[in-house]
A = this chain, B = another copy of it.
């Protein structure tokens, strides 16, 4: 039996997504065996992050500054807003390095069942930002799920006469995807949105 401190550590690790009680124990063991090289740096990094991490009041991103690094970066195009559900989606978008505008993180999707209305998400502040004359385009990049598309639909209704161009991510075959393994909905969307190669 491990000491109370280690048991507590295991309990907390087991609450992280992707870690169960067994792997939390394994991770804790790995750490106590390499205290100086693994456990101590992680403890310091976490303590630092706890002290510094904050939510950007402009876009909802998570950063150590408010407004966040993206909102204050002068090289980023202020005329385009990309609307995503969660910070993880923003990170994914940044990894693809294809978008150079700014973001708006909703913080979830509309859900009548869970009592999540527009005011529980960052939809009012999105409408404020979208009506700023600087903003020319709002890209709806919510997930291609029922909830994500419902939320996108609601936002597009709200921004109908905001004087901005509204766009959405394309549906289609994922790069590297095999037709045989794709769902019918994706195939149908890809077929409907087929591109002209030459005529």
Interface residues of A in 74-108 (CB under 8 A from B): 86-88, 91, 94-95
The residue from B40, B49, B70, B94 contacting A32, defined by CB atoms under 8 A apart: B49
Q: Does A153 contact B (CB under 8 A)?
A: no
Chain A, interface size category, equals 35 or more
Q: Does A116 contact B (CB under 8 A)?
A: no
Assuming A25-B91, A49-B9, A50-B39, is B3 touching A31 (CB within 8 A)?
Answer: no
Q: Which residue of B lies closest to A70 (CB)?
A: B1
Q: Does A199 contact B (CB under 8 A)?
A: no
State the number of copies, please: 2
Residues on B with beta carbons closer than 8 Å to the beta carbon of A45 = 5, 8-9, 12
| Pairwise interchain contact B53-A94, C-beta atoms closer than 8 A | no
| Pairwise interchain contact B87-A29, C-beta atoms closer than 8 A | yes
* A residues lining the B interface (CB < 8 Å): 1-6, 8-9, 12-13, 15-19, 23, 25-27, 29-33, 35, 38-43, 45-50, 52-53, 62-65, 69-70, 86-88, 91, 94-95
Task: Write 5 A-B pairs (CB below 8 A) sorted by A numbering.
Answer: A2-B63, A5-B49, A6-B64, A16-B27, A47-B47
